[in-house]
């Protein structure tokens, strides 16, 4: 067995970066074993950068000196010790980074990509949808102009939030503005349209929205109801047959079960950087498969997350589509990984190299190291695409 020797936790970001706050920083884990093998993990932030960073130090205390190959045992040992797991995003995010880095090392030890250790790949490439493309879009013509740009990039599907500054409640004017954006895109762009609600509505508003956009045949509608209003989601489900997706805030495979048994979701969206890592991401997909539910992993942060997620996209049978922000990242984030996967004509392909299959640019780790919190804009929540939280 190979021991975990060195643990290096790095926050990365750029001063005065113009991207949305949830994307302005990432946390990278560099883990080194006693025989010098290096593995990388990533943890998400979303106005939680410093809390997640500190929790990674806590996880590091428990992983230090452990056998890196004992991925499940190390995971369960932290689960035993962490009192608020799995309902603490700080804990699940920190643990996910260590789990992913462990898989990266084990794959390198065996000379195989992670998907091969999970049973092999069942597809050669991964269909994506664009996200992050609609910054500063408010009016229908704004969305159409940028939609044309992503079509030229080769994307055939796009996700977007057309609801402006509405939160909790949306009035008739807000619904009609959103409908007009969706209708215009449907008429003028050749894209599958995925509608993002960001978990912002109460059930009454979500029902009104769904009834008004149902005839547009959206690919799916994501998080239409506040994530803590389970009964509201039940009411919504009883009122619509629009395909519902959710899961980026579900922090453990077991927590997907109530949604599946109650038939409340058509597409689950685990995030491998906060659900517990690759095994939890894989087991969540297996659970969904038993219910005939598809998987579209959440993937909004950085390239190490993408590399980890692709290992599952290539492996699971109930894969639907993969989220991608890659084309809209700041330059430093694009340069963090030198090689490992490609995004061309709306599809990801993986390198097939061992572990995560990536080569990390150490110069970026040095140049963009920071210890700052994400920027805070009091006029715009951190979870929206920048410049969109306003009325048209």
Q: Are strands 359-360 and 347-350 parallel, antiparallel or unpaired?
A: unpaired
Confirm if 60 and 118 have CB atoms less than 8 A apart.
no
Q: What one-character-per-residue DSSP string does 211-244 give?
A: HHHGGG--SEEE--S-TT-HHHHHHHHHH--S-E
The Cβ of residue 373 has, within 10 Å, a number of other Cβ atoms equal to 17
- Residue indicated by tokens 């030229």: 152
Contacts of 265 (CB under 8 A, 6+ apart): 244, 245, 246, 247, 259, 293
Confirm if 222 and 195 have CB atoms less than 8 A apart.
yes
The HSE-up count of residue 238 (CA atoms within 13 Å, CB side) is: 9
CA distance 309 to 237: 29
CA distance 252 to 256: 7
CA distance 96 to 90: 10
Could you tell me which of 241, 170, 167, 246 has the C-alpha nearest to residue 204?
170
Catalytic residues: 198, 298
- Residue indicated by tokens 């709306």: 346
* φ and ψ of 5, to 5 deg: -100, -55
C-alpha distances in angstroms, 335 versus 17, 232, 327, 358, 364?
A: 15, 42, 12, 12, 7
């Amino acid at each position: 067995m190979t021991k975990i020797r060195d643990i290096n936790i790095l926050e990365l970001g750029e001063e005065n970066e113009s991207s949305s706050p949830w994307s302005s920083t990432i946390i990278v884990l560099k883990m080194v074993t006693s025989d010098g093998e290096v593995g990388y993990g990533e943890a998400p932030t979303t106005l939680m950068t410093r809390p997640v960073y500190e929790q990674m130090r806590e996880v590091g205390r428990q992983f230090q000196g452990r056998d890196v190959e004992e991925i499940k045992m190390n995971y369960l040992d932290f689960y035993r010790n962490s009192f608020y797991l799995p309902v603490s995003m700080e804990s699940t995010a920190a643990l996910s980074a260590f789990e992913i880095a462990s898989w990266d090392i084990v794959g390198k030890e065996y000379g195989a990509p992670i998907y091969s250790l999970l049973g092999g790949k069942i597809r050669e490439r991964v269909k994506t949808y664009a996200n992050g493309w609609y910054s500063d879009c408010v009016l229908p013509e704004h969305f159409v102009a940028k939609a044309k740009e992503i079509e030229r990039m080769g994307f055939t599907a796009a996700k977007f939030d057309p609801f402006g500054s509405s939160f909790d409640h949306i009035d008739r004017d807000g619904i009609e503005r959103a409908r007009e954006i969706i209708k215009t895109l449907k008429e003028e762009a050749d894209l599958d349209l995925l509608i993002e609600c960001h978990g912002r509505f109460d059930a009454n508003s979500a029902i009104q929205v769904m009834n008004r956009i149902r005839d547009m045949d959206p690919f799916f509608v994501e998080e239409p109801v506040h994530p803590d209003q389970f009964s509201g989601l039940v009411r919504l489900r009883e009122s619509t047959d629009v395909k519902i997706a959710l899961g980026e805030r579900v922090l453990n495979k077991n927590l997907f079960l109530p949604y599946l048994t109650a038939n409340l979701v058509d597409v689950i969206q685990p995030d491998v950087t906060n659900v517990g890592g690759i095994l939890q991401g894989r087991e969540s997909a297996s659970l969904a498969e038993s219910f005939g539910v598809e998987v579209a992993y959440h993937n909004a942060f950085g390239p190490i997350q993408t590399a980890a997620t692709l290992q599952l996209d290539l492996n699971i049978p109930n894969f639907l589509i993969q989220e991608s922000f890659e084309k809209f990242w700041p330059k430093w984030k694009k340069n963090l990984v030198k090689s490992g996967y490609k995004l061309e004509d709306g599809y990801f392909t993986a390198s097939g190299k061992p572990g995560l299959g990536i080569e990390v640019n150490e110069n970026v780790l040095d140049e963009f190291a920071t210890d700052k919190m994400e920027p805070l804009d009091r006029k715009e929540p951190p979870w929206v695409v920048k410049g969109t939280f306003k009325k048209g």
